[in-house]
Structures are given as structure tokens and as C-alpha cells.
Chains A and B, each alone.
Chain A
Amino acid sequence: MAEIDPITLAVLAGRMEQIADEMDATLFRAAFNPIIAEAHDASHGLYHASTGDTLVQGKSGLPIFVGVMAFAVKAVIDKAAADGDLADGDIYIFNDAHIGGTHLSDMRLVRPYYRDGKLFCYLASVGHWHDVGGAVPGNYNPAATDVFQEAFNLPPVKLARAGEINQDIIDILLRNTRLPQSAMGDLNGQLGALDLGIRRMDELLDAYGADTVRAALDALGDRAEALMRAELEGLPDGRWEAMDYLDNDGITDEPLAIRVALEINGDEMVLDFAGSAPQCAGPVNIALPTTVAAAYVAIKHVFPMLPANAGVMRPIDVRVPEGSMLAAQFPAPTGGYTETILRMIDVIFSAAAQAAPDRIVANAYGTINALSIAGKRSDGRPWVMFSFYGGGHGASLEGDGLNHGNAPISTATIPPMEILESVYPVMFRQWALRPDSAGDGMHRGGLGAIYEIEVLEENGAEAFLFGERGRFAPKGIAGGANAALNVFSYATDEGFAHPPLVSKMRGIKLRQGQSVRLETPGGGGYGPAADRAATAVARDVARGLMSAEHADEAYGQAWREVTI
């Protein structure tokens, strides 16, 4: 193997990151579907030729994919090895979440990159398609009990053989979605991103030589490992545990435990999820690749400078017992994976906070609140308004949490209210911060939000919610208090009502003029409330972010002496 000097390595690291970033940008521009175009629910990167390990990944894609894509590439490597027919110009496609992680909405394309007739590495593209069949448009089916009720399932197959696209595969795909035009637009965008990646790799290898680039890729993995080990060395040795719950699986009203034991020994770490709930009937299960990826996301939030490279995970042992909901087996449903990995990140933070409270932020709001309102217009045209809603971020040693942020697994922005009102027959009566929703503490969490949405359509509408945190609040750390619970209510002829399963419900019937109301959690607090400056409490009360009664109860009366 060629040696590589540290300067060329630094230069090549930047060049390859730029290639992955440019692949992301290519798909965002071309995609039809707003989940990719606006919410950036997609990702691209370069992966190791024999292990599938992540070598470089784009910075603008969805954070959760940073850990999960290696599994998708490995699945293709295994398939190609079994078939023995891998060739230059092949492109594999699949959405099977049990081998590729996340959920069936994520369509994965994997393409080998050859140089001088030899396999050099893999390029891959993943994007969240708008619809892939199944029982519910958009595939967020809170009552699914297997993958077949969630979506069309595609194992790794060749979309292209030696550069020749297999139209049969495309025909099958387009017959299995409610939105074939959107799917075709996204597929074209993903193919375009892979083409671009191939061109850029050719240019890079022309300029630097295959041996040098290969040496750089190897060195980057070692460097990522060294960085991770150095960071772990900086944490104390020991074993810390944390446990939290999901409200229910959408089928049976029983809480599901998510439990972690975090152990640090020198420069190595174990994350043991023994004691977490067993595989459940509803769609909050996750496959093992998703679990490993969620662990990576949590770790990268603690150490933001870590690169998107598999070397980071070498010193980390993620243990999940067989039969766990965190290592679900086919055909268990996984459509609501977001809720489960958000809770995993919460327990990892809560455990790590016991080891190094100054490094960790308290829990964020912890649910994506996938709310869909749908119906038919008077001319018969169907409409579906589907969006995720924001909440508060956790507080830290540095300061209060962010009000109304996006989920830690995502960087998606919320669509403007005026765009939603111009496209769908709804009106927002309220789009506001939610007072008293933050966890108290020396630093308080960020505030959650209140969204109240009225149906304007004379035919009425039907609403669906897939949420969490209705029974178990986001936690504070280092003595900080928990935030407020997620509260969902909907209008009935007898007044506002709450769902029997608190945070999940299908088929809520709304008449014209009736509304649904979502009050999202804030973030957890940091440090004892007694340590909060009276001026900060007085300021929050003056601004109406906190009621005077709440302030008295949580912080005492000292703030009343302060003039703002």
C-alpha cells in the first residue's frame, strides 16, 4: 500500500467530502418530492469495496443515514458475492429496511466504481420517496403489524446491468406507488447524483492516481478511529445506565422500555441495550443497522468534529440482545423508526450525562409528530397535508435550549404556514411557542410549540397522527427538570378530545370549522433550578414564556424582586 503524506491526505479529504456534498446537492435540486427537495431526507457517499464501510459521506444529508448506509452497501456486496456477477456499470436498488436499515420509504441505490478494470469503491444514494405503496399514503401507518401493510418490499436487485438500465424494474416500481411521477423524478435524480459521483471520482483519480486516493481512504479510516479513541480517553472510565419508554406501539397501550448501559474502558466504549423491550406488534421496531446508526448519531452530537467515517465506530461495541425491538426480524413493521431512535439517543445522552455532564445536552422534544390531514375537495380531488412538527431542544452547560427546533436525527425545516394554507384547505388558528413547556433548570430547555389547524373544506377531513412523548416527558440532566408532555387534541361535537393511545391515532373525523391542536414538548433542563439566575426567570415571565405560577413553583419567589 502506498504511503500518504499528511498534507495530501488533508487535501484529498476535502476533495472527497466535496464530491459527496455535490451528489447531495444534485439530488436536492432535481428531486420532485419535498421530503427530499426541502427536508433533505437523503444521503450520498463513498463506501469500502470489500466491507461496505462508510469512507466519506455528504454533510448536507439526513444525519441518521451517516451510520446506516454502510449496511445497505454491505447487503449489496453480499448479494453480488452470492450471485458472482458484479460488473462495471451495475446499479443495485432496494428498500428492504431489515437489511438496509431505517424504513421502506428510503430507496437505496448502490453502484460499484471501477478503475482500470478493478473495483475501487462503491457509491450510494438514498432518498425518502413520497409513496411506496402499502395501506396508508405516505407509508406512516401507525397500525401496521407487518412490513406488507407498510409498503412494497424490494430486495437488492440490479436496476442496471453493465450500464444497461433494466426497464422491467422501473415498470414494477412505478406500478407500486400512488405517485409514479414523483417516484420517477426522484429515481432520475438519484441516478444523476451517482453519474456525477462517477465523473468526479474519475477526475480525482486522474489528478492524484488510484494508489494515492486508495491510501488516503485507508488513512481516513485510521484517523477517524484515532479521533474517536482520543475523545473516549477524555471521558472517565465507568458504567452508567439510563432507561426511558415509548408510550406504546400503536396497537396495544403498553409502554416499551428502551434501556442502555454505557461503559467506558480507556479508549473503548460499550453500548449495551439489554433490558429494552422485545420485538412488538406495531411499527416502532427497528432493525439492527438502524440501532447502530442511531448510536453513531448520538455520539456525533456529543463530539461534533468526528468525521462521517466508519472508523469512528471501531472502538464502539453496540450490543443488542436477540428478540429485542432494537434488532427486529423480518417481517416486523418498522415504519415509525424515527420515534424509537429518538428515544435511543435520549437514553444515550442521559447515560453519558452521568459520566460527563458538562459535555452533554438534555433531551430534546423526542417525537417527530407526523400529522396528516386528508380529504376530498368539492370537485372530488383528494388532498393530503403531511408534515412533521417541531419542539424544544435540551439545555446544556453553555445555555438554554433552542425554542422550536428540528429533531436531532434530521435537519429538515418546516414548510411555511402560508404555503400550507395556499395548497390545502386549512387555516392555522395558532402557530406559536408553548409557554411552560420547557424543562426547568439552571439553564432551561427550549420551548415546544402549539399548532392549531382548522379545516376549511366543506366536506370535512380525516386526520392521522404518529407521535410519542404523550406519557413520558423529555428528561433533564445534571439535576435539570423534565419538559412538558406532548398533548394532542381534536374537536368533536362534545368538545376537544384526546386519543386513547395518547400520541397515535387513525381516522379522526373533522367537520368544516373543526380543528386539531398539537402542543409539542419542550427540551429538558440542565442543572438544578435553584441555580438559575433570578433575572433569567423574571425575563421569561415578562416575555410570557413562563407563567408566574410556574416560576414561583419551580424557582421560588426571588425573581419577583427583579425589575426587567
Chain B
Amino acid sequence: MKIVGVDVGGTFTDVFVLNEADGTAAVAKVPTTRPDQSGGFLTGIGEQVEDLSDISVVVHGTTAGTNALLERKGAKVGVITTQGLRDVLEMRRRDRPRTWGLRGDFEPVVDRRYRLEVPERTLADGTIRTPVDLDAVRVAATTLAGQGCAAIAILFANSYANPANEALAVQAVRAIWPNEHVSCSSEILPEIREFERFSTTALNAYLQPEVSGYLDRLETALKQGGFGGEFMIVQSNGGVMAVDTACKVPVRTALSGPAAGVIAAGYIASTAGFPDVITGDMGGTSFDVSLIAGGQSMLSPQTSIDFGMVVRTPMIEITTIGAGGGSIAWVDKGGLLNIGPESAGSNPGPVAYGLGNDRPTVTDANVVLGRIDPDNPIGGKLTRLDVEAAARAIDAHVGAPLNLDTHQAAEAILRVANSRMAGAIRLVSIERGFDPKRFAFMPFGGGGALHAGAMLAEVGIARAIVPRYPGVTSAMGCVIADMRQDFVQTINALVDQLDTAVLTGFMQDHVDRGMAMLRAAQTTFEARKVNFELDMAYIGQTHTVAVPLEVTVGDGTVLPPARAQIEAAFDAAYTATFGRLLKNGVRRVLNLRSAVTGIRPKFDLETLAPKGTRIADPRATRRVHFGDTWRDTAIYDRLALPVGTEITGPAILEQPDTTVLIEPGLKGRVDRFGNTIITGDR
């Protein structure tokens, strides 16, 4: 049987097929189809798999949810909320889009006309002050259905502390609502902080009809093609979930595609002997950086998809700066060279694409300096890049104001872009207490491997590792990712008053629900594990510390943790974060977080390695500009290089979707998995 990973991006749909029988893998890259992405999805699989009944699992990394949020193309949503709180979604946390300028307004995804209030109120301690008026709830639901709302979210104050009013309201609405898109905030995120909980729940409702419709279409098409296996979706936390879960909580797919890429990068790097790695995905408009320490990705508790669009579910932490291949270089009125944040993206794209942009980009600098082959542009859409136009744009917008010639100006653009990218790497490593010298840098995406050498020089990283197929990393991540379910519950109690029976009850409930999901899955697991974490702080402190809690789950039953154990765990985590404990501080537990994971079998990356042994000769030589001079630079066909090959810079390794630059003073070596390891040449 075969396991198939499919990553649908803005331009390409990538497919990674693993044959379980012999461990071999195959990849395919086809254009993404719009508006219905299922066309490209099936074409891509079809390139490598003739008979869909040979497939046991299809795992999908999707941007359908992200795009619907960014383009505001979700469903018409209705909200029923507590009297007096109709505007929480629109008021946010009283922030503004940018610190300086005071411009820009905000439209929430739910129009104020479709946010209705009902009498009900729960207090912070869980006491029900006003029972929910179910007649009012039914009238509100009927009104919203009549107004054409396709999904409904029930958002009540303090429902994290007592979900009873919400539960009654949901029950009443489900009895009369015309479809299954009914949710309430305590089901989606039983965590304190009303805006974050309401926003996550409302955005989930906003995505439900859209994403579940899309996933249904895909599943139907797969089944019609003879597919009888399991269809799963990558979540933002880097784990996969069953498709029916994804239809209920599509908000968990907000960072699905990028998360899969980081998962694969971590696996490739660990296997190659580098459990500490910083990934850098360079796209058209941005450079996305993520840090993996000891093989583990960092998770962040929430993100803003756009101003005011907060999603609070655990996600792989990815730091983005506006320095991609399409970022525009410009000189400000004070004479300083800047890169971005404005970007030409991929359309019109760099000047060299000839599609109408006339302001120079980072890619244009790479083209003018000979680092990108103008006769074989990546992606296959264009036949030739316009080097002269790129040079003219660099002269006009950077060279002239700074009094530099074309190549000096292009080098200047790269230096400033590289220093911004290096700044992002420093941010996720040095500033979080990680020494970058211990880490490897893994570029993926089309352009990242052109800048790997600069990252070594700028940040002091010892080596870069370029995966054999950098362009299909996310699709490979789909095949590798474990099945994972995250749960949260606000506890909000001082440790010395904590009722451990109540805490254990929540932990048991999380384990039961998580294990049930694993049991329902058709896929096989090598192992199952449960992780518990408490968000804790001293009383009076607002920032919490994540406190891992070692708790035995024997035969599916959670053994209650003791208060002393919780205190000790907090002290250890707090000391690790801040260096010292607080004398006489009172410890508080804010939230319980549980993760239930089914470890999926991994595959042997060596099966991807090149099979040949013949020493490859350069296929050409090209003049490439380094520093202040042109160097004759050997060009190799990267995929033909056998294991063990060492190539001394300057050299360029080309493959259909990536260009790897080995700068003078560096060397590249092909490891036994086909990765290229770039280090200093001594």
C-alpha cells in the first residue's frame, strides 16, 4: 500500500508518495487549480499512483482555511451572545493595526446585524447568575437562519468556568438549525479570555461550511477513484487529524501547510544527525523561520491571521519577516537602503519576469549577479528572465541614489536582505537563549538555498543542510506527521487550594477523548503518548510559564498528581525561564493543556538518496559575482551528484525547483540521504 502526502500551495500542488512495501518514495509537482483545488490534487496523485485503491492513507496540508480567512471568503455567520457583550468580536483587545499612523479600521467576520444578545449570565466562579432564556435563544436562531446565516456560534461570558448555559443553548439551536454548523465557545476552546475564545469560535464557524465542503469534495473524488483508505488533514500544531474532525474544527488548519514543512525539516535534519535546526522558508513575499531543538518544534498558543483575527489553538511557531524574493529594494529620503515590506510577490513578480513590475527585488539582484540561471527560470512558467531590465531597475532605484554601479548595488541589496534574514534567525535563537552555533540551518522553498552561505557568515551557524527535495518538504511532512489532538481547560486556582480530583477529571476526559480518536483512526501507530502541561504563574503575574507535568497514564487511567509534584514542577520550569524563584510567591494554575499523540511509522530517508556512483562533472560554467569580482563558477546538476561528492565553492547546484549556491570559501557534501551539507572549506 501507499501513503500519499499532498500540499496545495498558491502556485503548485506537491505530492509525495511513499510505498510502504519497499520504502521507496516518489514526488510530483503540478500547477494548483483554481477555484476548485481538487483538480490539481487528483492530477498530482495520478502522476505517481495509477490505482487509487493502492493507497492506504492520504494526508493533506491545506491552505484552504488560511486563504478563506485572508481573503475574507468564509460563510455568513450568526452569533448568539450574552446580553451586553454583542460587540466583543468587533472591539478586540483595544489594539490598533500599526503603532504609528493611526490609520486603518476593522471589519469583524460577523456583521453586527447577525450578532444577537440573549438574557443569560455566568459569573467568573461558575455560578449561574441568570439562567439562559431558551425561548430567546430559539427566536434568535430562527431570526439568523431567516437572514441566511450558514453557520452559528454561541458565545457566552465565563463559559470556560461553567459551560451549562452554552450547552443548553447549543442543544436548543441544534434542534432547529438547518445544518450541522452549530458550535459554542466552550466546545472549541474552554479557556479564559473572552475575545480570544469568541474570535477562535467565530472564525471556526466562518470556515466550517467552506472547508468542510472542500474536504467533502476531495474525499468524494478520491472515493470515486477507488480510494478506500483514510483521509487525514495536517493541523497547525504539526499533527494530523481525521477529516471529520477537520470539518468540525477547521480553524485548526490555519497554518496547516507551513507546519507540515517544519515537521519534515525536523525529521530530515534529525535523521541526518542534526536534531537542532533552524528552518528558513523563503517565498515571494516573506522569509519564515522556525526553530527545532532536540528534534522538537516550538509551539505557540495563538496567532493573528490578520489584524483582529485571532486564532488560539496550538501552532508550530513560525516567525515571518517581509524579506522574500519579491521584496522591493528602495532608498528612502534619508539615503538609507531598505528591503520590503512592499513586495512584488510572484505576480507581477521581480522585474526580470517582465510582467509589469519595474522596481528591483531581491530576486533581481540574484539574477543580475549570475546566481540564478536566466535561461532556465524555476517554476517553468517563463522561458527566460530579462537580466537587462533587472539591471536597469537596480541602477535607477538603488545604484543612482547611492552612487553605486549595477553590481555594487545588487550586492548591496543582497547584503541588506541577508542581514534582515539573519536578524530573524537571531530573533528565534539568540534572543530565546539558544546558541546558533549549535544549530544547522535548513533552507527550503525555492530561494532559500541561495542565501544559506550568507546565513552561516552572518549568524555564526556552523553548517547548512539543504534537503534533497526542498520544494516538496511540506508534502513529505504530511507523510511523516504524527496524529495529535490538543485539549485545553482553564482551571484558575491557587495550587494550595487546587482540587486535584477536579484536575484529574479533566485530564482523564482529555485522555479518553484523545484515545477514542486514535482508536477510530484506520491508520497504524507505533506508539501512543500523552503529554500534560500546566500554564502557571505567581499570583499577580500575567505571563504564565508552561510547566510540563509527568503523570502516569496506566492502562488509560490517569493517576492523580499531588500538589507537591505540581509545585516542584513549577519551580523547575520557572527557574529555567527566569533564573530564580520568588520568595513567598503564591503559585497559581491557570490552564491545563493535554496532547494525545499517535506516533506514525516513519520511512527510511535513505531511499531518497541518489543511486549513482559516477563522479559528476559540471554541466556548464557561468560567471557569478561575489563581493567585488566575477568568478567562473561550475554549475552542477544536483540530483545527479552521488553520495559522498564534495564540491568546493564557488559552485552552483541546480535542480528543477531550487538553486543551491556554494559561495567561495565554502564546500558542499552530499550525505547518504542525498542532502547537501554546506560548511566552511577547511
Neighbouring B residues of A22 by C-beta, 8 Å: 431
Neighbouring B residues of A396 by C-beta, 8 Å: 102-103
Asked if A30 is an interface residue, CB under 8 A from chain B, the answer is yes
In this complex, the member of B102, B402, B419, B585 whose beta carbon has the largest number of chain A beta carbons within 10 angstroms is B102
Asked if B41 is an interface residue, CB under 8 A from chain A, the answer is no
Interface positions of B from 58 to 100, Cβ below 8 Å from A: 84-88, 90-100
Neighbouring B residues of A398 by C-beta, 8 Å: 103-104
Contact in complex: A393, B96 (CB < 8 Å): yes
Contact in complex: A25, B85 (CB < 8 Å): no
- Indicate whether A418 sits within 8 Å of B541 (C-beta atoms), given known contacts A402-B104, A431-B88: no
Q: How far is the CB of B122 from chain A (nearest CB, A)?
A: 10
- Indicate whether A446 sits within 8 Å of B105 (C-beta atoms), given known contacts A10-B338, A38-B542, A417-B157: yes
Contact in complex: A545, B112 (CB < 8 Å): yes
Q: How far is the CB of B458 from chain A (nearest CB, A)?
A: 9
Interface positions of A from 1 to 40, Cβ below 8 Å from B: 6-7, 9-11, 13-15, 18, 22, 25, 29-30, 32, 34, 37-38
Bound-complex Cα distance A400 to B105 (A): 7
Q: How far is the CB of B591 from chain A (nearest CB, A)?
A: 12
Bound-complex Cα distance A418 to B124 (A): 7
Q: How far is the CB of B85 from chain A (nearest CB, A)?
A: 6
Could you mark each residue 429-465 of chain A with 1 if its beta carbon is under 8 Å from any beta carbon of chain B, else 0?
1111100000000000010010010001000000000
What's the interface size class on A, roughly? 35 or more
Could you mark each residue 129-165 of chain B with 1 if its beta carbon is under 8 Å from any beta carbon of chain A, else 0?
1000000000000000000000000000110110000
Bound-complex Cα distance A406 to B100 (A): 12
Interface positions of B from 242 to 293, Cβ below 8 Å from A: none
Q: Which residue from chain B places its CB closest to the CB of A398 in the assembled complex?
A: B103
Interface positions of A from 68 to 111, Cβ below 8 Å from B: none
Partner of B87, one of A6, A34, A421, A433: A433
Q: Which residue from chain A places its CB closest to the CB of B93 in the assembled complex?
A: A413
Asked if A59 is an interface residue, CB under 8 A from chain B, the answer is yes
Q: How far is the CB of B83 from chain A (nearest CB, A)?
A: 8
Contact in complex: B90, A404 (CB < 8 Å): yes
Asked if A261 is an interface residue, CB under 8 A from chain B, the answer is no
Partner of A419, one of B97, B102, B193: B193
Neighbouring B residues of A373 by C-beta, 8 Å: none
Contact in complex: A402, B106 (CB < 8 Å): yes
Q: How far is the CB of B425 from chain A (nearest CB, A)?
A: 11
Interface positions of A from 193 to 238, Cβ below 8 Å from B: 223-224, 226-227, 230-231
Contact segment of A121-129, A239-247, A298-306: A298-306
Contact in complex: B124, A406 (CB < 8 Å): no
Interface of A (DSSP majority class): mixed
Asked if B396 is an interface residue, CB under 8 A from chain A, the answer is no
Bound-complex Cα distance A390 to B99 (A): 15
Asked if B605 is an interface residue, CB under 8 A from chain A, the answer is no
Contact in complex: B336, A9 (CB < 8 Å): yes
Partner of B84, one of A14, A38, A429: A429
Contact in complex: B94, A406 (CB < 8 Å): yes
Contact in complex: B402, A6 (CB < 8 Å): yes
Interface of B (DSSP majority class): loop
Contact in complex: A431, B95 (CB < 8 Å): no
Contact in complex: A418, B194 (CB < 8 Å): yes
Contact in complex: B103, A432 (CB < 8 Å): no
Contact segment of B327-335, B517-525, B618-626: B327-335
In this complex, the member of A402, A414, A417 whose beta carbon has the largest number of chain B beta carbons within 10 angstroms is A402
Partner of B90, one of A25, A226, A417, A433: A433
- Indicate whether A432 sits within 8 Å of B87 (C-beta atoms), given known contacts A18-B427, A418-B192, A419-B192: yes
Partner of A7, one of B90, B94, B337, B585: B337
Asked if A378 is an interface residue, CB under 8 A from chain B, the answer is no
Asked if A403 is an interface residue, CB under 8 A from chain B, the answer is yes
Partner of A421, one of B123, B335, B585: B123
Contact in complex: B96, A405 (CB < 8 Å): yes
Partner of B92, one of A15, A305, A404: A404
- Indicate whether A11 sits within 8 Å of B193 (C-beta atoms), given known contacts A364-B102, A446-B105: no
Asked if A167 is an interface residue, CB under 8 A from chain B, the answer is no
Bound-complex Cα distance A7 to B124 (A): 56
Asked if A408 is an interface residue, CB under 8 A from chain B, the answer is yes
- Indicate whether A432 sits within 8 Å of B86 (C-beta atoms), given known contacts A226-B334, A405-B96: yes
Bound-complex Cα distance A431 to B332 (A): 43
Q: How far is the CB of A532 from chain B (nearest CB, A)?
A: 14
Contact in complex: A32, B541 (CB < 8 Å): yes
Asked if A361 is an interface residue, CB under 8 A from chain B, the answer is yes
Asked if A265 is an interface residue, CB under 8 A from chain B, the answer is no
Asked if B384 is an interface residue, CB under 8 A from chain A, the answer is no
Contact in complex: B335, A417 (CB < 8 Å): no
Contact in complex: B423, A18 (CB < 8 Å): yes
- Indicate whether A361 sits within 8 Å of B103 (C-beta atoms), given known contacts A14-B419, A431-B85: yes
Bound-complex Cα distance A413 to B542 (A): 13
A10-B416, A22-B431, A418-B160 given; 7 more Cβ-contact pairs under 8 Å:
A18-B426, A182-B540, A185-B582, A304-B101, A414-B93, A427-B121, A543-B113
Supply 28 A–B pairs (Cβ within 8 Å), ascending by A.
A18-B423, A37-B541, A182-B540, A185-B582, A223-B334, A227-B332, A361-B102, A398-B103, A403-B105, A404-B87, A405-B94, A406-B95, A411-B95, A413-B93, A414-B93, A416-B93, A416-B193, A417-B194, A418-B160, A418-B193, A418-B194, A421-B158, A430-B85, A432-B87, A433-B87, A452-B84, A456-B123, A545-B112
